């Protein structure tokens, strides 16, 4: 305790040894393990901690909540001319520089109809009065791209993605056990909202449109379909595309949100004070950081993490421990 406030003073290792902190403790164990560590340390919702016989040290109801990810529909397409080496696995794929970076040439961002998105959000029970963050200005809601790799790894197929950049579905990470060696329970809850389903359907129809042009047909003979699954055409019904996406939806492994800023940590990435006024007093800072996150969360994740880390480090070094 320090001035009536509990302060983390170090860490306990799995083998029982403890290490004391000179200044402060930084937890950066990723989206899945960070909430697990917090919960095992007694920082989290009381009910969940009680379920595992863990004494609550700090009330923090949002730990492990708010899990989100970049997910969407991945489709596999059979190449018309595999002999030209357009996909990994082909014997014609011999230039080593093709292996530098991701096997992608382009990534197109797509917006969607404001009216239709608004209807979808309303169906999800969200208020669209005033300024909903997804409706204020057109956003890069979707990412569409071709990936020059897919199984079987023989150069005969490519894959396409219609990816939801700004999902509204939220999942969770909870404890399976109070044993650190046991993996936590991950509930992705992908594709749970109509706003997400609407946007991924829109992207999927765009992919179908592109691959069904004369140029598209020259590249791909057609889609390789799982058994009993509909070919996605532009005019396929919403229900059929939904069913298709439920079978083939996938993630590009960008989970985030389980120690959410403003709920679990404050704008300096510290555990939030239970006094709302603490965040309130730094509203401008919060706005600036959230703007940064929103701007970058539509693209890839690592850049956001580097920028947040950059902005945190001077703060952490300059501030006294509280």
Ligand X SMILES: Cc1cc2nc3c(=O)[nH]c(=O)nc-3n(C[C@H](O)[C@H](O)[C@H](O)COP(=O)(O)OP(=O)(O)OC[C@H]3O[C@@H](n4cnc5c(N)ncnc54)[C@H](O)[C@@H]3O)c2cc1C
With CB under 6 A as the contact rule, the residue among 133, 253, 273, 322 that binds ligand X is 253
Residue nearest to ligand X (CB): 30
Q: Which is nearer to ligand X, 177 or 253 (CB)?
A: 253
Distance of closest approach, residue 135 Cβ to ligand X, in angstroms:
27
Identify residues 40-79 at the interface with ligand X (CB under 6 A). none
Other beta carbons less than 10 A from residue 141's beta carbon: 24
Q: Is the Cβ of residue 5 or residue 28 nearer to ligand X in the bound state?
A: 28
**Does residue 152 have a cis peptide bond before it, meaning omega lies within 30 degrees of 0?**
yes
CB nearer ligand X, residue 108 or residue 229: 108
Residue 262 is a binding residue for ligand X (CB under 6 A): no
50 φ/ψ angles, rounded to the nearest 5 degrees: -60, -40
Measured between alpha carbons, how far is 22 from 2 in angstroms, rounded to an integer? 15
Q: CA 38, CA 58: separation in Å to the nearest integer? A: 10
Build a one-symbol-per-residue string for 280-309: x at contacts with ligand X by CB under 6 A, - elsewhere.
--------------------xxx--x----
Cβ-based nearer residue to ligand X, 100 or 127: 100
Buried b (16+ CB within 10 A) or exposed e, 248-271: bbbeeebbbbbbbbebbbbbebbb
CA distances from 263 to 187, 228, 269, 275, 302 (A): 19, 44, 11, 12, 22
Smallest distance from ligand X to CB 252, Å: 7
| Partners of residue 78 on adjacent β-strands | 157, 222
SS3 94: coil
d(CA 255, CA 246): 19
Q: For the segment 96-115, give every residue that binds ligand X (CB under 6 A).
A: 102
Residues 15-34, interacting with ligand X (CB under 6 A): 28-30, 33
Cβ proximity to ligand X, 33 vs 230, nearer residue: 33
The residue (of 33 and 139) whose beta carbon lies closer to ligand X is 33
Measure the CA–CA gap between 75 and 69, rounded to whole angstroms: 19
Site track 203-242 with ligand X (rule: CB under 6 A), x = hit: ----------------------------------------
Site residue total, ligand X (CB under 6 A):
12
In the complex, which residues of this chain contact ligand X (CB under 6 A)?
A: 28-30, 33, 37, 102, 253-254, 300-302, 305
């Amino acid at each position: 305790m320090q001035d009536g406030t509990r302060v983390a003073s170090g860490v306990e290792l799995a083998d029982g040894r403890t290490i004391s902190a000179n200044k402060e403790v930084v937890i950066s164990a990723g989206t899945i393990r960070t909430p697990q560590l917090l919960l095992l340390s007694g920082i989290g919702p009381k009910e969940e901690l009680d379920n595992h016989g863990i004494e609550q040290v700090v009330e923090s109801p949002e730990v492990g909540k708010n899990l989100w990810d970049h997910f969407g529909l991945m489709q596999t397409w059979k190449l018309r001319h595999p002999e030209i080496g357009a996909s990994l696995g082909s014997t014609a794929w011999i230039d080593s520089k093709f292996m530098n970076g991701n096997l992608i040439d382009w990534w197109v961002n797509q917006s969607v109809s404001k009216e239709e998105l608004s209807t979808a959000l309303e169906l999800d029970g969200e208020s669209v009065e005033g300024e909903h963050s997804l409706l204020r200005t057109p956003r890069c809601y979707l990412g569409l791209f071709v990936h020059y790799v897919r199984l079987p790894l023989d150069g005969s197929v490519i894959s396409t993605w219609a990816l939801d950049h700004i999902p509204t579905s939220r999942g969770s990470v909870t404890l399976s056990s109070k044993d650190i060696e046991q993996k936590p329970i991950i509930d992705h809850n992908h594709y749970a909202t109509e706003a997400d389903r609407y946007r991924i359907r829109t992207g999927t129809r765009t992919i179908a449109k592109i691959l069904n042009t004369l140029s598209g047909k020259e590249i791909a003979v057609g889609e390789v379909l799982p058994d009993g699954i509909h070919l996605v055409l532009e005019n396929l019904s919403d229900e059929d595309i939904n069913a298709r996406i439920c079978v083939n939806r996938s993630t590009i492994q960008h989970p985030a949100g389980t120690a959410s800023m403003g709920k679990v940590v404050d704008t300096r990435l510290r555990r939030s004070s239970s006094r709302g006024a603490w965040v309130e007093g730094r509203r401008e800072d919060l706005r600036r950081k959230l703007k940064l996150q929103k701007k970058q969360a539509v693209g890839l994740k690592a850049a956001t993490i580097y920028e947040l880390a950059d902005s945190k480090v001077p703060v952490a070094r300059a501030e006294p421990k509280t």
